Copies of this chain bind each other. A is one copy, B any other.
């Protein structure tokens, strides 16, 4: 049963299991105590720190263990900001950072600090011009810049060397969230703070790490104690920490060979998916990317259903679609990149994945997508469309979404250019608002309907207006802002923008 969600958590490395047991047997005591059991625990903790520091290329006294990668990031951001509070209070983060960084940024704002969110290109790489401008704007007095080594959702590797050079120039500390790359290698130098999470390299849940380079101003706030340099309160989770250090070393020993092997397998997926499944878009940078991760989005499908279909077929993947999370907003990463979010699938291969497993996935994917699309009554020619428009499955799928089984469509022969906002209030009332010389228009009311329904309804009616004609889609699902423009790009139509919940699309061909 192939597990393709390595970017969330890896199955524990065999040495993690051994190390955890040994540490539970030998290192259960409080390592701050002076008796022999305490000293034994202390030795294990020190050894774990030295081993991890060696893997990371830092000094042991620059490294502290945290209860998770998230806590490491929270402490890193807060400690660096407090340490620099006399210099400035502007925090710079890329728009595609892990939510832990974005939450820390929100907390900084709530406390009166300022935050700049730096944009990314369509491949997900931070815009160097924005980095440079943001640093320049603060005249070197920005408090901190946070940038991930690679993106956790689309796998794009960030231009860390360039950003580090800018930061050194501006004398602004750089925090690198290296969670997605520490299994493979260390990030390039020039950073002041670095964080990681053991779950991503084959260690157990419950261990993060934080490296603070000598000379970095750092002052975590809140209640603290003497543990971990006074930066991470509470007794460290020793068995898990020892397992984390052992598995990091083991992962690195296999990293070079394994990353090349997985890179080839991911290339196979990147090439095959658009050929095997119509109306899909592979997102993320094609070259500057993680070796083991590929993400694609499928028009006319929702991510959660796709994930379930693949799970039933025996494949565990992840999704950044709004539909797959409890928050009902599409992934902030896909949003910042401006790419399609609907039917999003992230495949991240753990070490040891075989070519046969990847081939099995590619063999199962088309039917999984087709079955999901079929339930949503998609436009013709999308695999599931032919049977879906009349089948019982399609009907029950349709009623399962809110807002009726089909969108209300109002035709207008008047000026579609001006009827958009009027149509938004009442469906067909805009008809006849104008008559002369304007392109024929259509309004699709998909208010209250969840992704990917607004796009499906748009796709079904686009041929009903002539080339140059306008379809206005009324849609209040937040994903529509991403998915309607992405659909236009993929299908060769022109997105004219949105006014409130009214999205206007010009048929181009």
Quick check: is A207 within 8 A (CB to CB) of the other chain? yes
Identify which of A29-37, A52-60, A487-495 touches chain B: A29-37
Partner of A17, one of B24, B67, B224, B318: B24
Quick check: is A5 within 8 A (CB to CB) of the other chain? yes
Question: Contacts of A30 on B, CB cut-off 8 Å?
Answer: 5, 8-9, 199, 205
Partner of A103, one of B5, B103, B233: B233
Interface size bracket, A side: 35 or more
- Lowest 4 CB-CB distances: which A-B pairs, in order? A206-B237, A68-B234, A67-B67, A35-B316
Most chain B Cβ neighbours within 10 Å, of A3, A5, A223, A235: A223
Quick check: is A258 within 8 A (CB to CB) of the other chain? no
Identify which of A290-298, A304-312, A385-393 touches chain B: A304-312
Knowing A238-B205, A240-B240, the reply to whether A223 touches B24 (Cβ < 8 A) is: no
Are B12 and A24 in contact, with the CB atoms below 8 A? Answer: yes
Tell me the smallest distance from the CB of A26 to a CB of chain B, in Å: 11
Q: Residue on B with the closest CB to A1?
A: B36
Q: Residue on B with the closest CB to A314?
A: B36
Are B307 and A106 in contact, with the CB atoms below 8 A? Answer: no
Identify which of A69-77, A424-432, A470-478 touches chain B: A69-77
Knowing A35-B317, A234-B208, A316-B36, the reply to whether A28 touches B11 (Cβ < 8 A) is: yes
CA distance A327 to B16 in the complex (A): 35
Residues of A within 8 A of B (CB): 1, 3, 5, 8-12, 16-17, 20-21, 24-25, 28-30, 33-38, 67-71, 74, 77-78, 99-100, 103-104, 106-107, 197, 199, 204-208, 221-226, 233-240, 304, 307-308, 311, 316-318, 324, 326-327
Question: Contacts of A308 on B, CB cut-off 8 Å?
Answer: 34
CA distance A452 to B206 in the complex (A): 42
Are B5 and A37 in contact, with the CB atoms below 8 A? Answer: yes
Knowing A1-B36, A5-B33, A207-B237, the reply to whether A103 touches B224 (Cβ < 8 A) is: yes
CA distance A318 to B30 in the complex (A): 11
Can you list 20 A-B contacts (CB < 8 A)?
A: A8-B38, A28-B204, A28-B205, A34-B308, A37-B316, A67-B67, A67-B234, A70-B234, A71-B234, A74-B222, A100-B233, A103-B233, A107-B221, A107-B223, A199-B235, A204-B239, A205-B237, A206-B235, A206-B240, A237-B237
CA distance A466 to B207 in the complex (A): 64
CA distance A311 to B461 in the complex (A): 83
Tell me the smallest distance from the CB of A309 to a CB of chain B, in Å: 11
Tell me the smallest distance from the CB of A488 to a CB of chain B, in Å: 30
Are B99 and A326 in contact, with the CB atoms below 8 A? Answer: no
Q: Residue on B with the closest CB to A68?
A: B234
Are A236 and B205 in contact, with the CB atoms below 8 A? Answer: yes
Q: Residue on B with the closest CB to A226?
A: B326
Are B5 and A28 in contact, with the CB atoms below 8 A? Answer: no
Tell me the smallest distance from the CB of A104 to a CB of chain B, in Å: 4
CA distance A33 to B325 in the complex (A): 9
Are A3 and B237 in contact, with the CB atoms below 8 A? Answer: no
Are A223 and B100 in contact, with the CB atoms below 8 A? Answer: yes
CA distance A197 to B30 in the complex (A): 13
Are B237 and A307 in contact, with the CB atoms below 8 A? Answer: no
Question: Contacts of A307 on B, CB cut-off 8 Å?
Answer: 34-35
Q: Residue on B with the closest CB to A236?
A: B205
Tell me the smallest distance from the CB of A499 to a CB of chain B, in Å: 33
Tell me the smallest distance from the CB of A38 to a CB of chain B, in Å: 8
Question: Contacts of A77 on B, CB cut-off 8 Å?
Answer: 223
Known: A199-B235, A206-B239. 10 other contacts (CB 8 A): A10-B28, A16-B24, A30-B205, A68-B233, A68-B237, A69-B235, A99-B225, A106-B223, A204-B240, A237-B237
